[in-house]
Amino acid sequence: MADMDIGVLLPTGTAQWGPAGDARELVAFGRSAERAGFTSLFANDSLISPRVEALTMLAALAPVTDSVTLGTAALMPFLRRPVQAAQALASIDLLSAGRLVVTVGAGFPGRFGRPLYTLSELPWERRFVRLDETVALWRALWDGADAFHGEILRFEDIPPTTRPHRAGGPPIWLGGATPAAQARTGRMYDGWLPYPPDPADYSSGLRSIREAATAAGRETDDITPALFVSVRIDGDAESGRRTLDDYARAMYGMPLEQLEEIQAVVTGSADQVLEQLGRYVAAGARHIVARLGALDLHSQRDQLEQLADLIPALRAAADHAST
């Protein structure tokens, strides 16, 4: 049987709670997702829109969940001091007994990227070098290093830091989908979490990652092929698109037509959603992280339950694609 994980992005943004929303309901939401059969819970990271901070959310879930992977989608390390971030991540890995996965990203041009670097008092230039060095620093600290010498990050006489539950620390995935990001994923990351609008682009990107991994002397099976996708199950595609348009405008300040040019979005009846997700499974995705298209916590729970009903069929699709 092929391994197939289906996870959910926690609705940590206040725009997803509705007028009566209570942040404390997010912990119960995560526990409900675990009971419903989801195998991972992810939190995203931003300073642009009000939300519960990603690592705080995962720390709250660590002691009250049993088996689900706890992940970031995606963490932007430049928002934090790199040594302090290593400490926080190791702590969550300890609290969860080794269930943490860290997806990282460097931000995007426009209001989702450069202004955050200004707030973080860091230059926008060479952001990808900074990202890769931060990851290398984390891994060195988790292995007990007391110094680090990179092109940008340089530390001497580092005191003993918190060691994670797992030797070497939690897996670290990359969220980028450009050719350069694919090459970097193949060379040094443990997984890939993009959101390409076309499954064909997912397939070609995964092929490029595996070629880069082979060239670097790595095993391709050591890199988890994941997918970040917005999902709305509705009566039909037209009604689903209307709701997702409201969602896109509330979350991104843009219409759905613009959002789906850059991100994977699926909607329609349960069968239609299953067929669309199945195309990504056939393209190689083996860990789906679904962002539920709903703007209040009651509707989020309804979407969670409907998507949970598709989990057996998605796993069957993975088995079929692997034969």
Rounded distance between C-alpha atoms, residue 313 and residue 185, angstroms: 29
172 has pLDDT over 70: yes
Task: Give the pLDDT band (50/70/90) at residue 224.
Answer: very high
Task: Give the pLDDT band (50/70/90) at residue 2.
Answer: low
Task: Give the pLDDT band (50/70/90) at residue 166.
Answer: very high
Task: Give the pLDDT band (50/70/90) at residue 323.
Answer: confident
Rounded distance between C-alpha atoms, residue 220 and residue 190, angstroms: 10
Higher-confidence residue of 128 and 48: namely: 128
- DSSP conformation class of 67: S
pLDDT of residue 113: 77
Q: 87 near 56, Cβ under 8 Å?
A: no
Rounded distance between C-alpha atoms, residue 40 and residue 61, angstroms: 11
At residue 222, the 3 state secondary structure works out as: helix
- Assessment of whether the complete model's pTM goes beyond 0.75: yes
Query: Could you read off the pLDDT of 23-72 as tens digits, one per residue?
Result: 999 999 999 999 999 999 999 998 878 999 999 999 999 999 999 999 99
Q: Which CATH class is domain 5-322?
A: alpha beta
145-150, Cβ contacts within 8 angstroms, sequence gap of 24 or more: none
211 has pLDDT over 70: yes
Residue ranges covered by each domain of the chain: 5-322
Please, where are the H alpha helices in 37-105?
A: 54-61, 82-95
Hunting for tokens 């300073």 — which residue is that? 47
Rounded distance between C-alpha atoms, residue 44 and residue 12, angstroms: 8
State how far the alpha carbon of 177 is from the alpha carbons of 96, 211, 228, 263, in Å.
Answer: 29, 15, 11, 11
